[in-house]
Structure 1
Amino acid sequence: MTKPTTQGSERFGSETIELRHRTLSIESVSVDEDEIEYPDGGIKAYTVLFGAFLGFTVNFGLINSVGAVQSYLNNHQLQNVSSSISSLIFSIFLCISYVAGIFSGVLFDEFGSRIPMATGTVLLFLGLFLTGECESVAAFVLVFGVIAGTSLGFLMSPLGGVVSHYFMKKRARAFAIATLGGSVGGVVFPLILNKLYTTVGFKWTMRILAFICSGLLVVSFTLSKERLRPESPFADKQLPYGKKLKLVLKNVYFMSKRSIDFKALKDPKFLFCTLGGAFTEVSLVCSLTYYASFIIYIGYTETQGNTMLTIVNAVGVIGRFIPGVIADKIGPFNVMIVMSAGIALSDLALWLGYATTSKSLASLYTFATIYGFFSSSALSLTPACCAAVSPTKDFGKRYATLSFVIGVLFLGGLTAGGAIIGKQSVASYQYFVAYTGTLAAIACAIWITARIHITGWKFLARA
């Protein structure tokens, strides 16, 4: 039996649009959220999971590979530009890629995965293809930073949302498998970029990358479909197409006004989850963005710098999966505490204490291997932590809120990191590593605080 829906309305110009509070629909049968049964397996669920995996291969794969783009530009098109200026390209790229998740989260909650994923695919192709034509910081900011960054934001929420529709008990493991694509992309994309830079040049490298990413996203679009569909008053097939489109656009306008659930931040569990995720991801993205440049600065080749990024992400395949499996047993927050502590110790002990002083390949390989394991879990466990403290029907909105906070901190955090490096010196890189390690240490303290709000002081409790 369908639960009655309450009616409401809002004015737009001279017309009134009827809006209804949503109930979730599984194959057109409405149920309350507490009555929903999750497959947690089966052909359909794992097909969707594979589609999300391919999508995250592009989404997080590009984020994990941004250092390979930064290091190339730093030594070619922008070699005479200070890191404090060129960092704007990547801070804006990362900021917008997360902030745009606000809008895509609402679109996903209201209309499903198709609209945001199609929009993201088209924008990413344009952004990457046109990046090859850029020569100045302003051009890179507009094309790579804004257009490509927006595309990733449109993809992020639906890719995470479809997974949450099919998995509950195995949700942390499912997120770990889906975001494992980020490590795969982080391994493959630097290798592709490194090879193409020397054979076809930067312009055609970005064009080829655009076609590769678009192909993967088309397959992801085909496979990734939500299971819990909200009832929509605009699905009436009897309405003329023009009227339906007009109503949908007006509804999107109203949804955009409530796209960020700031009220959810009054919940201390979600607040500290958001802050913990933000500080963790800012720390690791700063490190991944400038690690290759550090390697090149101390005398190694671009190939060796990009190879180190590949090692970080290759080890991350294990680092994403194993913590995800453990998180299903002891809880994602418990695992995140350990991983964020590992990130901080890797930065401060292995990079700052070992690599910046010895400058040996052994020190660089050691850091890349150990850091790759700990850092890779952050991108996979953050959505699992968010889902653990969020109602399923509001996951898209809450994940968009979390993405907004992370994006804002990216803008300031990565720009600050570039300013610390400045014109580059061993001392400036040491200050930079101390900065990223401190961010990770703060994140660890926040994750501990979040866990206390969930379980109290019960040391062995699942959280």
Structure 2
Amino acid sequence: MSPSTISWVGSIQATMIPMVGLVTGPLVDSGNLRPLILSGSFLIVFGMMMTSLATQYYQVLLAQGFCVGIGGGISYIPSLVVVSSHFTTKRPFAIGCASIGSSVGAVIFPIMFRKLQPSIGFPWAVRCIGFISLFLAIVTCVILCRKPGERTRARSLIDFTAFREPPFMLLSVSLTCVMLAYYVPIFYVASYARTELHTTTNLSFYMVAIVNGSSVVGRVGPYFLITWVKPMYMLIFAAAASAIAMFTWIAATNIPGFIVWACYWGILSGVHVTAPSSIIAHPVLTPDPNSLGTRLGMMWGISSFGALAGTPIAGALVNLDQAYFLRAQIFAGCMMIGATLLQSWPALKITWYDRDRPRPS
């Protein structure tokens, strides 16, 4: 299969996770936490096990792309709502800590698969990951399902008043731009190292682990400064710094420089994962705290269109045969510039609100 075709598996999975939040957000607001966590955990494990049985492309697409993606989407927003609703001033730090697991998994699972697959084969290598996911899912269900969610009045899937609020809409559209660019380096750093820098296959593979491992710093580190720097400022700074990262990627033409660049981008990518979820609870973006799940689901649901289109677009722009990545790098850089500009107005509104009525964000 072509790189663009293969990328649809990861792209669909990445899209399903936030897009399903459009449904799960209002459901968790209505007190359906337990069934959401249980069903999402089941689908993740089931999808991994079905991937181990797949022998054709469409089977991998259904199991890994759709089943695991939908399961992750069912679990993701409710988990964020639980964290967001239990913290105020420490909310960004708490969300960052809660999201470290995805960075750790993104490092461990690929390395684990690469080591196991030659000795035990594809099916059992994937099943080993599935069994670990099952264990972690049980732990998650035990923790999050001890108490039923707090029931509020029934809500529609979409809060239509949000569409009339420029700060919320501009932030959501900016995240669409971020997602259009976000997965370009995630999907192509290994190919770039192998074809452009002529690294060994092992080193090119570990470039992805370097990016994902570095993202731990971005997910938690900036929030030690939360007393002095607002999460919205962290997000807009990360978008501007990411635009620089995409363009400086063009100049990373040797192995040491590219490793430094991968660490730099990895840190910024962590901020993009955690900062939006910690910002959305601010009164400027969510005036009614009881609709936090709905707003969170809408924000990530809108951004999911960027995740869906970004990687296939990059796959069409990249020419692996000629090691030509320039068009994809410029595309990603321009998207990050657009995100920075769009986030300016929400940042100003949050600043004005906090100046007039100081309160924890």
Instruction: Give the TM-score taking structure 1 as reference length.
Output: 0.71
Aligned residue among 288, 295, 319 for 1:398: 295
CA offsets, 1:284-342, max 9 Å, x none? 22221222232233433443223112211222222211212324542111111111112
Specify the code of the residue in structure 2 equivalent to 1:184. V
| Structure label with greater radius of gyration | 1
Aligned residue among 293, 313, 334 for 1:416: 313
Matched, 1:220 2:136: no
Checking the alignment, whether the CA contact within 8 Å between 2:31 and 2:148 is kept in structure 1 is no
Alpha-carbon spacing, 1:186–1:139, altered in 2? closer, same or farther (3 Å): same
Q: Where does residue 15 of structure 2 map in the other structure?
A: 95
Checking the alignment, whether the CA contact within 8 Å between 1:319 and 1:372 is kept in structure 2 is yes
2:30 and 2:342 map into 1 onto residues whose CA distance is 32
Aligned residue among 338, 361, 364 for 2:255: 361
Matched, 1:292 2:292: no
Question: Which has the higher mean CA deviation after the structures are superposed, 158-167 or 312-321?
Answer: 312-321
Matched, 1:119 2:119: no
> How many residues are paired up?
353
Q: Where does residue 171 of structure 1 map in the other structure?
A: 91
Relative contact order, higher structure (CA 8 A, sep 6+): 2
Alpha-carbon spacing, 1:302–1:194, altered in 2? closer, same or farther (3 Å): farther
* Runs of 4+ that moved beyond 4 A: 225-228, 456-459
Specify the code of the residue in structure 2 equivalent to 1:287. P
Q: Where does residue 264 of structure 1 map in the other structure?
A: 162
1:421 and 1:346 map into 2 onto residues whose CA distance is 18
Q: Where does residue 14 of structure 1 map in the other structure?
A: none
Q: Where does residue 27 of structure 1 map in the other structure?
A: none
Residues 5-404 of structure 1 correspond to what in structure 2 (within 5 A)? 81-225=1-145, 229-230=150-151, 258-298=156-196, 299-327=198-226, 329-349=228-248, 351-354=249-252, 358=253, 360-388=254-282, 389-390=285-286, 391-404=288-301
Q: Where does residue 329 of structure 2 map in the other structure?
A: 433
Alignment RMSD (CA, Å): 2.4
Q: Once the 2 structures are TM-superposed, how far is the Cα of residue 208 of structure 1 from its aligned partner?
A: 1.0
Question: Which has the higher mean CA deviation after the structures are superposed, 183-192 or 376-385?
Answer: 183-192
1:385 and 1:271 map into 2 onto residues whose CA distance is 13
Q: Once the 2 structures are TM-superposed, how far is the Cα of residue 194 of structure 1 from its aligned partner?
A: 2.2
CA offsets, 1:121-156, max 9 Å, x none? 111111111112323332222121111110110011
Alpha-carbon spacing, 1:205–1:297, altered in 2? closer, same or farther (3 Å): farther
Whose strand fraction is larger, Structure 1's or Structure 2's? 1
Checking the alignment, whether the CA contact within 8 Å between 2:152 and 2:290 is kept in structure 1 is no
What percentage of residue pairs aligned between the two structures are identical? Answer: 23
Checking the alignment, whether the CA contact within 8 Å between 1:180 and 1:320 is kept in structure 2 is yes
1:288 and 1:305 map into 2 onto residues whose CA distance is 12
Q: Once the 2 structures are TM-superposed, how far is the Cα of residue 167 of structure 1 from its aligned partner?
A: 0.4
Alpha-carbon spacing, 1:326–1:196, altered in 2? closer, same or farther (3 Å): same
1:93 and 1:166 map into 2 onto residues whose CA distance is 28
Equivalent position SS for 2:150: strand
Question: Which has the higher mean CA deviation after the structures are superposed, 272-281 or 433-442?
Answer: 272-281
Equivalent position SS for 1:279: helix
Alpha-carbon spacing, 1:367–1:197, altered in 2? closer, same or farther (3 Å): farther
Instruction: Give the TM-score taking structure 2 as reference length.
Output: 0.90
Alpha-carbon spacing, 1:103–1:314, altered in 2? closer, same or farther (3 Å): same
Alpha-carbon spacing, 1:87–1:375, altered in 2? closer, same or farther (3 Å): same
Checking the alignment, whether the CA contact within 8 Å between 1:276 and 1:447 is kept in structure 2 is yes
Equivalent position SS for 1:387: coil
Alpha-carbon spacing, 1:95–1:152, altered in 2? closer, same or farther (3 Å): same
Equivalent position SS for 2:15: helix
Alpha-carbon spacing, 1:306–1:126, altered in 2? closer, same or farther (3 Å): same
Q: Once the 2 structures are TM-superposed, how far is the Cα of residue 120 of structure 1 from its aligned partner?
A: 0.9
Specify the code of the residue in structure 2 equivalent to 1:94. A
Specify the code of the residue in structure 2 equivalent to 1:445. L
Alpha-carbon spacing, 1:458–1:214, altered in 2? closer, same or farther (3 Å): closer
Checking the alignment, whether the CA contact within 8 Å between 1:324 and 1:381 is kept in structure 2 is no
Checking the alignment, whether the CA contact within 8 Å between 1:84 and 1:422 is kept in structure 2 is no
Checking the alignment, whether the CA contact within 8 Å between 1:295 and 1:305 is kept in structure 2 is yes
Equivalent position SS for 2:53: coil
2:123 and 2:307 map into 1 onto residues whose CA distance is 27
Checking the alignment, whether the CA contact within 8 Å between 2:16 and 2:304 is kept in structure 1 is yes
CA offsets, 1:56-75, max 9 Å, x none? xxxxxxxxxxxxxxxxxxxx
2:15 and 2:152 map into 1 onto residues whose CA distance is 32
